[in-house]
Amino acid sequence: MTRRETPAGPPPDPLVEVGEPVERLEMDAYREFVRLAEAGQPVALVTVVGTEGSAPRGMGAAMAVRSDGSIAGTIGGGSLEHEIVRHALQSLADGRPRRFHYDYSGSAAQNLDKACLGKTDFYVQPCLVLPRLHVFGAGHIGIALAPIAEAAGFRVTVIDDRPGYPDAARFPVSVRLVNGPLPPVVGSLPFDESTFVVIVTHGHEQDETVLAACLARPWRYLGMIGSRGKVSRLFKSLGTDAASRRRLAEVRAPVGLDIGGRSPGEIAVAIAAEMLAVRYGREDVAPMRDRASSRAPGVADPSEPDLTSDAKHQGV
């Protein structure tokens, strides 16, 4: 009886690097990455994407890095892992993925097994929590701002103390709507150092009430609508001590970039643009045309994706 031989398959491609099968350590990393991402918590996934010579882990090895620097899985241990965690935390801080090269023969690898004298390429992919945006005021500006902010990647909550204004028929389905007295609502909402706040209520008294309550909460951005005269009077009223004056100095009021528009929709665009400038650290906002003209012809901006392949209105 003749034995049938298993087909050998196509010959190996010299341009293709073959990694190792998925192991338990990788499953631990993947599970933790998915768990934290679905829970809305920041996490980065580090993956070995290339090796040369002897290395602690092969291509495909993965490790999840939490925002506190703790890990799930491993990509080699020792001083290498501390270095990888540092890069991962930087990616979580600025929201940008990273690819970097590690040479085990260097002095930085002195704590690794001396048998590992190769090189490894790592890729860090951050998964960031969408920032919260609390919009106080469900009037014309709030209605215009909510869908723009949602499309720009904010988790939007709209708050108003008037019955009927936070109406689901007026806002995108995913926007959270809250109706109730403003000071208690401010105290009940989640705030942290990444929270964005926009105050566009239906009156000066309500603006002041919300701003006063927000001064005691953490936030990254707080903008309030109003003329410069109104803002000056309100700041003078609330700035009764050094701590309050320091917080008030961080408030964006009048809110928004000066793009010239005065309609509720135009004001909403100006507010969203200012929030994005703060979110991405682009305080020196300039037209893309001006940025492009400052570079040599044909030189791309590495920070940009490849795209080729007195406000007169209150929030009523």
pTM above 0.85, yes or no: no
Percent of the chain residues topping a pLDDT of 90: 55
pLDDT, average across residues 21-41: 82
- The band of 312, judged by pLDDT with boundaries at 50, 70 and 90, is very low
Single-letter amino acid, residue 2: T
pLDDT in tens, 136-191: 999 999 999 999 999 999 999 999 999 999 999 999 888 999 999 999 999 999 99
Which residues, other chains included, contact 45 with Cβ-Cβ below 8 Å and sequence gap of 6+? 29, 30, 33, 62, 63, 64, 65, 124, 125, 127
At 22 the pLDDT is 53
**pLDDT greater at residue 293 or residue 220:** 220
At 158 the pLDDT is 98
Distance from the first to the final alpha carbon of the chain? 89
For the range 226-234, what are the long-range contacts, defined as Cβ-Cβ under 8 Å and sequence gap of 24 or more?
A: 226/253, 226/254, 226/310, 226/311, 227/254, 227/310, 227/311, 228/254, 228/310, 230/204, 234/204, 234/207, 234/208
DSSP letter, residue 72: E
DSSP letter, residue 59: T
Look up tokens 């009523």; give the residue.
316
Q: How far apart are CA 48 and CA 159, in angstroms?
A: 45
At 289 the pLDDT is 73
At 204 the pLDDT is 93
Structural domains in the chain, sorted by start:
24-127 (no CATH), 132-284 (3.40.50.720)
pLDDT in tens, 195-254: 999 999 999 999 999 999 999 999 999 999 999 999 999 999 999 999 999 999 999 999
Q: Is 242 exposed, middle or buried (0-12, 13-18, 19+ CB in 10 A)?
A: exposed
pLDDT, average across residues 273-281: 91
Q: How far apart are CA 314 and CA 316, in angstroms?
A: 6
Contact predicate 198/133, CB 8 Å: yes
Q: Is 211 exposed, middle or buried (0-12, 13-18, 19+ CB in 10 A)?
A: buried
**pLDDT greater at residue 8 or residue 123:** 123
Half-sphere exposure of residue 287: CA atoms within 13 angstroms, side-chain side: 5
Q: How far apart are CA 210 and CA 218, in angstroms?
A: 14
Q: Using the predicted structure, report yes or no on whether residue 278 has a pLDDT greater than 60.
A: yes
Contact predicate 195/309, CB 8 Å: no
